[in-house]
Amino acid sequence: EAVKIDASSGGDLKLPNDDQNFTMGAGSDLSIYISSDNVYFKNQTSDKDIRFQVNDGGSNLTAIKIDASEVAQVSLPNDNQELKIGGGGDLRLYHNATNSYITNQTGDLNITNNADDGDVKILTDDGSGGTTTYMSFDGGSTITTVHKNMRFDDSVKGIWGGGSDLQLYHDGSNSYIDNIATGHLYIRNTLDDSDIIFQSDNNSGGLTNYIQLDGSEMETVFNQKIKIEDSKKLFIGSGR
């Protein structure tokens, strides 16, 4: 039985056999059939597309294009045409003719790489016509690496610690290193025989050393003269 018209179902036209093609076009270009309970919708002409069109206020628009000549590339070919995912269309992807957007309307937006030891990388233009990595999240070494300079605007703080204890920032006039909540502030050089050196302007447009903590000699060296204000005291020795 090749074709069945089912009067009991309102005159449904049925092709009742698996792998039985319904074809259209002079070259039987369009083919629709079922095989092993899977549905196939095919354009059988080499490198020709499948387009799904709608009528938008009297204008016919291609809503979805499947480009056979581009490895079956699927595109939403219109600017400001959103791909919406989720029951409420919460996750949205679109391009507005100038910029591209990924937006989330509900809950968190998670970007996850489940591949063992795989990375997540953020790349953009390298200023020379190519692309380069600006930040990477290394799943093998569990390290976040910043590959390019990172700039914080004035009064925007780099904050460390569960209680936001250590803060580094510039307020537009001055720079600050603040320990605001817990414990002491340590500045350490753990390399054998190396120093900690405090430098500042030398009054001639350059830099000079003011205090040097000499790790090889275990000495504190004052490279410039020390001025003690009136009524202030300078203690020398362990007895103070």
SS (H, E, C) 133-196: EEEEEECCCCEEEECCCCCCCCCCCEEECCCCCEEEEECCCCEEEEECCCCCCCCCCCCCCCCE
The answer to whether 78 touches 62, Cβ cutoff 8 Å, is: yes
1 compared with 31, residue with greater pLDDT: 31
At 122-146, the pLDDT tens digits run 999 999 999 999 999 999 999 999 9
Instruction: Please provide the average confidence, as pLDDT, over all residues in the chain.
Output: 94
In the predicted structure, residue 150 carries a pLDDT above the cut 70 = yes
When pLDDT is cut at 50, 70 and 90, the band that residue 6 belongs to is confident
In the predicted structure, residue 181 carries a pLDDT above the cut 90 = no
Q: Mark 160-176 as b/e (b = at least 16 C-beta within 10 Å).
A: eeeeeebbebeeeeeee
Of 20, 14, 44, 13, nearest in space to 34 by CA: 20
Quick one: average pLDDT of 190-218?
Answer: 96
13 compared with 110, residue with greater pLDDT: 110
At 93-127, the pLDDT tens digits run 999 999 999 999 999 999 999 999 999 999 999 99
User: What is the pLDDT at residue 239?
Assistant: 64
Residue with tokens 């009067």: 7
Q: How far apart (Å, rounded) are the C-alpha atoms in residues 197 and 227?
A: 19
When pLDDT is cut at 50, 70 and 90, the band that residue 10 belongs to is confident
The answer to whether 62 touches 52, Cβ cutoff 8 Å, is: yes
